[in-house]
Amino acid sequence: MIERVVVISDDAVESGGAAGIALRSGRMLSARGVPVTLLNGSTDPGLDLPGLDLHSLGGRALLEGGRGAAALRGLYSRSARHFIEAWIARHDTPGTVYHLHNWHKVLSPAAFTALGRVAERLVMTAHDYFLVCPNGGQFDFRNGSVCERVPLSLGCVATNCDRRHYAHKLWRVGRQAIRSASIDLARGPATVVAVHEGMRPYLARGGIGPDRVTVLRNPVVPWRSERVRAEGNREILFVGRLERDKGVDVVAAAAREAGLPLRIVGDGPLRAELARDYPEARLMGWRSPAEIAVLAEEARLLVVPTRWRETFGLVTLEAVMSGLPVLVSRHALIAQEVVDLGCGEACDPDDRAGLAAQMQRLAGDDLQVRWMSESGFHRARDLAPMPETWCDHLLALYRAKLAAARTHASPVTPGSRAKALAAAVPGKS
């Protein structure tokens, strides 16, 4: 029996990322009568979470405060360790499950030290690659390419792949080494949840035991319940952070070359540069899902030319399920499935001219665009669960963790625990 679920994350904010998924799980579990505690490094003061037991460390993100203090706090936050340990000491029961979502902005590797004593009942979702990769992206931000090096190998440590500078890369290496020493993800009992099957080899390359990984894709709700009549539209749409790893710069350049109108939804470091260099693009800033739904109704294509090996692709799936065709980066783990369903095409984010040619071709082919739109609207639902189904799978996974913890002292055959956990998520392995 699940007595309580403790959801742990760096922050509690409404978003489409890890923090948003953590909050959604807490609300849905609570609605089903499961007691939920949220342990957060920091919390949005305006957040409304009725019925949930919320505790916040009141910590600061690494970019806040003095550089030296932030660096030490990011390597190992003793206050975060004590915060989590104190809750466990006061409230832990054999029926309590712990679920860690993110840790690298506030909680630091100290979270793993604190959770080590309950590792048999610990689940952690790999929303990105921070569990294994120093910069979290398996991506070389210096040359804009995906990384194939083994994390923490000599080649990894010697490579300046950081967004900022090599000294910061070495700091990240130190943090990753502390994370690796804080909890054993190769042989220990904690379960890592990958959000896509394609993450498995990269997690394994970083030292996570393959039998410690199960797959549960994040829930997706389409932007629209009615199909976007994309074939009657002309506008190109981009939704996401305005950073080079997301490829927004190549979208802007390709749209100009193709002579197509572009609307950009999102914010980030490149906003001023885009406004200066591409005044014809319409910069919308951040928009709610309801607002994006209205904008999507006027779009012909969503372009997602991410340069890194994106783990899930929420925006891509929200679009295709709404009937909006996509041009999705060949590096995205979801790309081949989208292509196979016929609701999108893969693109090369390093080939601006090729991307412009794809846009131009699809801008003139109403029949093809309609076929892609209808394929996505009618067939893409199977690419990710709806929230209620996702919650069912979470509960099954938690029950399996508790069952495995109860039988830990009994003899088990090799791999039996991993098989039981995989079976908790139907259709995944």
> What confidence score (pLDDT) does residue 39 get?
95
141-166 pLDDT, tens per residue? 888 888 999 999 999 999 999 988 99
More confident residue, 297 or 408: 297
For residue range 87-138, list pLDDT tens digits in order. Answer: 999 999 999 999 999 999 899 999 999 999 999 999 999 999 999 999 998 8
Question: Is a pLDDT exceeding 80 seen at residue 217?
Answer: yes
Q: Does 391 reside within a domain? A: yes
Query: What's the pLDDT score for residue 319?
Result: 98
Q: Are residues 76 and 176 in the same domain?
A: yes
* 240 and 367 co-located in one domain: yes
**What pTM value is reported for the model?**
0.89
Residue 239 lies inside a defined structural domain of this protein: yes
Range of the structural domain that residue 153 is part of: 4-219+387-423
In this structure, is residue 283 part of a structural domain? yes
Residues 42 and 81 in one domain: yes
Query: Do 391 and 272 lie in a common domain?
Result: no
Same domain (yes/no): 253, 314:
yes
**Same domain for 156 and 10?**
yes
Q: Is the pLDDT of residue 421 over 70?
A: no
* Whether residue 71 has pLDDT greater than 90: no
Q: Give the pLDDT of residue 381.
A: 93
Q: What is the largest CA-CA distance in the chain?
A: 67
Q: Is residue 428 assigned to a domain?
A: no
Please state the rounded mean pLDDT for residues 379-383: 94
Residue 427 has pLDDT above 80, yes or no: no
pLDDT band of 80, cuts 50, 70, 90 = very high
Examine the pLDDT at 43 and tell me if it is beyond 90. no
127 and 275 inside one domain: no
The two tokens of residue 67 are 């550089």
- The answer on 242 and 211 residing in a single domain is no
Rounded Cα distance, 251 and 231, in Å: 20
On whether both 30 and 57 belong to a single domain, the answer is yes
Q: What is the CATH number of the domain that holds 293?
A: 3.40.50.2000
* Shared domain check, 369 and 407: no
Mean pLDDT of the chain: 91
Domain count for the chain, please give it: 2
pLDDT digits (tens, 9 = 90+) for 339-349: 999 999 999 99
Pair 405, 354 in one domain: no
For CA atoms 17, 22, 27, 29, the dihedral sign is: positive
Tell me how far apart the alpha carbons of residues 235 and 233 are, in angstroms, rounded to a whole number: 6
Confidence label for 67 from pLDDT (cuts 50, 70 and 90): confident
- Residue 429 inside a domain? The answer is no
**225 domain residue, yes or no:** no
- Same-domain status, 279 and 419: no
